[in-house]
Amino acid sequence: MQDSKFGKVISRILPFVVLLGICVAIALIFGTIADKQLEKRAEEEQQIQTENDGAALPYGVFLNADSEVADSITGYDTVVIDAQYFEAEDITALKASGIKTVYSYLNVGSLEQFRDYYFSYEQFTLDEYENWADEKWVNVSAPEWAAFIDELADDLLAKGVDGLFVDNCDVYYQYKEENIYQGLVDILTGLKGKGCTVIINGGDVFISETISRGIAVGECFDGVNQESVYTSIVWDAEDNDSTDYDGKVVYEKSAAEDREYFTEYLDSIAAAGGAVYVIEYSDSEELAKEAAEYSEAHNWTVYVASGIELDVVKREIESYENVEVVEPVVELTEEELLEARIDEWLESHTLEERVAQLFVITPEALATDGKTITSLNTALTDGINECAVGGFIFFGRNLKDRAQTIEMLGDIAALYEDIDMPVPFLAVDEEGGLVARIGNNPAFDVESTVPMSEIGATGDVNYAYQVGSYIGSYLYELGFNMNMAPDADVLSNPSNTVIGDRSFGSDSELVAEMVIAEAQALSEQNIIFAVKHFPGHGSTAADSHNGYAYTDKTLDELFECELIPFQKAIDSGIGVIMVGHISVPNITDDDVPSSLSEYMITSLLRGEMGFDGIVITDAMNMGAVTKQYSSAEAAVLAIQAGADIILMPEDFYSAFNGLLEAVESGDISENRINESVRRILREKWQ
């Protein structure tokens, strides 16, 4: 069913006065009509008042009137004017004359050319309005338009009007899109928030949709005005001289199905507690009487206009000069907004603050007072204020019980918020089985989980998901936001001593499924996870905690086994991978650990395998690193290789200063630092 066409009338600022009941339609009052016409109108109104025993007419609409003819608007209970063309004292005078309620017209869904703000907002318009070449629909979802309507409404209400007569919500009928619907809801809710009455003209499709979504009358509108229920307008009759449309306007009785549709619709609005007004058009006294009686039978407030006059004096904009054009703000996606936020952070923070984001360390490494950290003490507070690192990793010594852990982590997070720095990674090694700082501590009253090897032996992927969900839930409750798990190592070497039962097993495909399931469960509990230890510790024979660890496999052999879980995890969209200190001499032709190898991180992991998330090193205080490199050397090599986060350097301040010196010397570019910080902030803020 087509929406109402009253918007087509008032959008042209067509002056008209309508009367209740069976009265003949009264002529329109124009803001620019001649004095002779005003005198004639006054005589007609006086006659109407006499015929109605002097009682005030219930409603009058004066859309082309202005301050010059304000004193001619008398004898009504309620009037609609375009308050943009009135002063506050005019509104006061109207009410002093006996008018109880004054509404101001406000067009939210289309834009007419005669408006003095037309050229400022023309870029937000859509197609031409039906039958009106000098009017266009407006994209009500544009924030600039919504802001303007909000400001214009404030100006109108400040003049003393009681409410707003909102037109052209029919834009949702023309463009039935969610953004258009939501734009209207936001605008109308904002208007209602000003404490005024909102009457929507037409807009039956929008209003029906709103009610169906559970928005009650009173939340974004108080009532409706519907035109042409009993009558209808034929816009394209022959022998018409108007330049706005081709045919002559003819008024006739509406089709039965149209009348039935609008009757049911309006009765439903009334039943929901909304006010109902009806406007009919007729140049036939007999049809006008029928229309009035029909509305009265339904207890609607009805007013009848004798017709739509098109040859009216319109307010025109003389030129484009001195018109302030509002430039549209491009609506950004969530991803674009995130990137813009990151850009702003990078531009507004020092190199030292950006480099600090590249470290996840023990709290003791920052406090430097030699004491075990179990709370946010003075030493740790001073350390954070001096150098707000990207995160902390906690061990059994830091975690006494549930209450202490919640307080410590909460205090650290709050301090970062107080100093306006990104939330730190608050990490722990909670794989399950033997590697569990919480699960193996009786003070937390948490049930320990079986080793991952036992879960893998069941072949039940859902078991891995359940364990991940359980671990993630208690970590989140304690205040952690990161877990250095799951373990994606394939136990391809039975003699392996560092991984053992931490692996899901020797079947790479099953390990991949288990890792992805556990990772998904952790993520659902709002825990960031780190899949480890790339390129796979399961085939090594030595322990990198103590010294040199390597695998003699070729790249093809790794792709056939150890790299399968990592590749499938990457394909599933994981965000963090931990690179181990595993040397691969048959691939790199040297003994450089993978954590410091540009080929293994940048060429293989990022290039060939397609990973663009955070690369975090394994703990840099392990023998495989400390026996060959200083803390500064290892940190520089890791960043040059493509890593983003340095985990637990043996000497944090040495590693931190080493990176700063590398940037100052040009060995590492600021762009390279920013690249890693961007990945880190993206993971923290998404």
3-state secondary structure (DSSP) of residue 350: coil
Selected catalytic residue, list 66, 204, 618, 644? 618
Ranges of H-type helices in 373-458: 378-386, 402-418, 452-458
Query: Residue type at 368?
Result: T
Tokens of 548: 């040199």
**How far, rounded to the nearest angstrom, does the alpha carbon of residue 433 sit from its chain's CA centroid?**
41
Question: Quick one: DSSP state of residue 532?
Answer: E
Does 445 participate in catalysis according to the annotation? no
**Left, alpha or beta for 110 (phi > 0: left; psi -120 to 50: alpha)?**
beta
Selected catalytic residue, list 411, 545, 651, 667? 545
Question: Quick one: DSSP state of residue 7?
Answer: H
Tokens of 246: 């081709």
Lookup result for tokens 């943009």 = 84
Measured CA to CA, the distance from residue 499 to residue 537 in angstroms comes to 7
CB 283 within 8 A of CB 261: no
Lookup result for tokens 């394209």 = 236
CB 581 within 8 A of CB 625: yes
Dihedral sign from CA coordinates of 681, 682, 684, 685: positive
Q: How many CB atoms lie within 10 A of CB 216?
A: 12
CB 482 within 8 A of CB 425: yes
φ/ψ (deg, to 5) at 184: -65, -45
Does 545 participate in catalysis according to the annotation? yes
Tokens of 250: 């003819």
CB 595 within 8 A of CB 534: no
Lookup result for tokens 């109605």 = 52
Secondary structure (DSSP) of 449-471: PPPHHHHHHHT-HHHHHHHHHHH
Query: Residue type at 31?
Result: G
Measured CA to CA, the distance from residue 211 to residue 208 in angstroms comes to 5
- What is the b/e burial string over 176-205, where b = at least 16 CB atoms within 10 angstroms of the residue's CB? eeeebbebbbbbbeebbeeebbbbbbbbbb
| Residues in Cβ contact with 196 at an 8 Å cutoff, skipping those fewer than 6 apart | 153, 157, 161, 162, 163, 164
3-state secondary structure (DSSP) of residue 347: helix
CA neighbor of 388 nearest in space, from 361, 348, 428, 427 = 361
Pairing relationship of beta strands 614-617 and 301-305 according to DSSP bridges: unpaired
Which residues are known catalytic residues? Answer: 545, 618
